[in-house]
Each structure stands twice: as structure tokens, then as C-alpha cells.
Amino acid sequence: MSGAKLLTEKWPVLGRHKQAAVWLQIWADLGRAPRTIDAYARGLTEYLQLCERDDIDPVTANRAHIAIYVRELTSRPHRRGANVVAIDSGSGLSNATIQQRLVPVRLFYDFLIEEGLRASNPVGRGRYTPGRRAGVQQRGLVPRLTKLPWIPSEQQWLRILEVARSEPVRNRVMLALAYDAALRREELCSLRTDDVDPAHRTLRIRAETTKNRLERVVPYSASTGVLLSQYLTHRAQVSRARGPLFLSESRRNHGQPLSLWTWSKVVRRIALASGVERLSTHTTRHLCLTDLARIGWEVHTIAAFAGHRHTDSTLQYIHLSGRELADKLARGMEHIHAWRIQALTSIDGTETDR
């Protein structure tokens, strides 16, 4: 059974709209990651449910109908309620989440235009011209807020480490690798035994596990290598089979690959126990890249290490580290200081001459 078929069973509204089901199947056939397909299906489902509720034909919907959907997104209470850390929209859904919800709707209308079922995209930022990559750029429906990634303070990090020390060796080495190699959650949980090269202390991050399908090789430190060696000895007691590096040790899934959700629960538990509730599976990656910027790594080197296709994503860590601003301030202050000293000494000399 195809991934798109499974999604239409999970969200029946997609099956009631032929074009939506076809659009999803095309993305699945093009080899998009299952999580991407799932996110597209979820976002389009919410929009189609609103269309059915308000008796709107999604094929002929206009900008006013999209505005109704945006209004609902900006006023919808978040399902996590009081657990939400940052509420950008003022009601519940963050600005980034709202932007994410609009992506599949915009892509769906691009598809309808390509199929000749529409002349324009009610979500698009510019006019759609077949065969052209971009049209006339206009302001987006929802202002995009660009925030720097959150990283813990030194005190918060020490509290996190204090709690992490009592974790099993598997969780400790995963936390160490997540920081040391700036790994995303899926990259970390998808590591296999043959991805590790202890002789050179490197990890191979396979293309199929990365966000942008770029394979890379990253180093890890000697201290992390010691912890990894301890874990490999422990892992042999769970399973001697080669394959996924990190295994579940629960009764129900003993010896099975550790799931993304299990790792998320581990990090969430550490966050609550340490009192640093903003800690997430991505925090260690943000912290590592910011630290690399702080110690003077060049932007292209950080981009290669992080697996960024473009340096635009990398620049936020340079900004977060404050390195360039600090350097400019230091150079500026040095010049000002030298000028003041020179001025003072010349005044002093003039007075002496008199």
C-alpha cells in the first residue's frame, strides 16, 4: 500500500478530494521523505476540513477564503496548552507553525495551476508563470518572524549536564554525539554501527537520513569516543547484530531500533528534571554550531559541518554568537582608545611645552 493511500485512510478528507489525493501521491512517487509527506497531508487536511465546514470549493477558493483559514490559525489554541514555551501568534500557534501550515496549501494550488484547473495561486507571493522559477514577489499573507535559535545559558547547561549524568550510558552518549557532531534528531537515531569509524573518530551521516539529502562525515571528540566505547560494550549485551546503533531496552521493544519519539521523551524528561523546559532534541545542535561560531570557525566551514546546503541557515549562528559584532566593537574601541590616548598625550605635550 502506497504512503499516500495510507494517509488518505488516516485523514479521510483527503480521499474525498481527488486532486488532493493525486497531489500527495505525486510527492510520494517523487521520493519525498515520509515525514515530509505526513506534514503536507496534515496541513492540507486542516485546510480542506475548513473548506468543507464553510462550504468552500477548494479548487475555486480565493484570497478571502485563505484569509479565513489564516485567521483561524492565528486564533487557534495550541494543543499543548500551558506546555507551550513561546507563543508568537498571541494565541497559541507560533508564527513558524502558521507558515508551515500554509506551505502545503500553496503547493497544492501550484499543482492545480499546472493541471490547468486554476489561473492563479491565492496563497502565492507572486504571479505564477509556468516554466519560470519565480514571479513578481509580493508580501506574504502572514508576516514572517525570523528568530535566532534558543540556546541555554551556562547555568542552564550545567543543570542539564547534572541531570544527564544519572542517565543510562546509551542516553549519555546520544546526548554527547548530538552536541559534538551537531546532529539532528533523525540523523542521531538513524546511525548504524557501520557509520562509526573509531579509528578516525568520525561518523558518516547518510544522505537518506538528512534533511536536505546531503551525506557528510563529521568528527567527534576523544571524550565522546570513550563514552561511545562504553556504550558499544553495553550494546553487545542487548544485541550483537550489526545494524542500528542505538537500540531500545524496553520489555516491549527490546533490541529494536530506538525510535525518534523515544529519544524525544528522554530529552523531555531531562528538560523537566533540570528545570530547563525549553530544551529539545535540536537544542544541542544549535548550541554546538553557536559555539563553533564563537571560537572563530568560518561560515562555510560551519555550513559543511552542519550539512547546510546554503550558508543562509548558517549565518543565524554567527549572529547568535555575536562574534562579528564583538570583533567590530573591539576593533572600533581599539581605534577610539588609541585616538583618545593620542589626543590626551598631545594635549599633555602642548601644556608641557608652554
- As given in the structure block, the three cell numbers for residue 134 are 519565480
Report yes or no on 333 lying in a domain: no
Binned average pLDDT, 10 residues per bin, the chain of 354 residues: 64 88 88 83 92 93 91 70 43 73 92 92 61 47 70 93 95 95 95 96 94 90 94 95 94 92 96 95 93 88 92 81 65 67 59 45
Would you state the cell numbers that stand for residue 195, as one nine-digit string?
557509520
User: Domain end: 60, 90, 114, which one?
Assistant: 114
Burial bucket for residue 99 (CB in 10 Å: 0-12, 13-18, 19+): middle
The interaxial angle of helices 283-294 and 312-321, nearest 10 deg, is: 70
CA distances 88 to 85, 92, 122, 145, Å, are 10, 8, 24, 8
Q: Are residues 110 and 171 in the same domain?
A: no
Residue where a domain stops, chosen among 114, 136, 169: 114
Q: Which residues pair with 196 in a beta bridge?
A: 203
Could you write out the DSSP letters of every residue in 296-311?
Answer: T--HHHHHHHHT-SST
Same domain, 303 and 236: yes
> Which has the closest alpha carbon to 126: 115, 105, 141?
141
Q: How far is CA 175 from CA 171, 265, 266, 302, in A?
A: 6, 13, 10, 20
* pTM > 0.85: yes or no: no
Q: Are 109 and 161 in a shared domain? A: no
Residue 144's pLDDT is what? 63
Q: Is residue 339 part of a domain?
A: no
* 269, part of any domain: yes
How many domains is the chain partitioned into structurally? 2
What pLDDT, on a 0 to 100 scale, did the predictor assign at position 87?
39
**Quick count: other Cβ atoms within 10 Å of Cβ 226?**
12
Beta strands across the sheet bearing 202-205: 196-197, 202-205, 216-219
Contact 11, 20 (CB under 8 A): no
Residue range(s) defining the domain that contains residue 63: 3-114
Residue at 167 is within a domain? yes
Same domain, 109 and 160: no
d(CA 327, CA 65): 49
Q: Where does the chain have alpha helices with state H?
A: 3-10, 12-15, 18-29, 34-53, 63-75, 95-114, 154-164, 169-180, 185-189, 222-238, 260-274, 283-294, 299-306, 312-321, 323-353
Residues 213 and 108 in one domain: no
Cα–Cα distances (Å) from 229 to 197, 199, 201, 309, in that order, read 11, 12, 11, 32
Indicate if 177 and 101 belong to the same structural domain. no
The pLDDT assigned to 182 comes to 95
d(CA 114, CA 131): 10
Could you tell me if residue 234 is inside a domain? yes
Question: Are residue 86 and residue 159 in the same domain, yes or no?
Answer: no
Residues facing 218 on adjacent strands? 203
Task: Tell me whether residue 32 is in a domain.
Answer: yes
For residue 347, the model assigns a pLDDT of: 55
For 180-220, give the DSSP string: HTT--HHHHHT-BGGGEETTTTEEEE-GGGSSSS--EEEE-
318: in domain: no
At 313 the three-state DSSP class reads helix
The whole-angstrom separation of Cα 174 and Cα 183 is 10
- Domain identity same for 282 and 214: yes
43 within 8 A of 74, measured Cβ to Cβ = no
Residue 319 forms part of a structural domain: no
What 3-state DSSP class applies to 151? coil
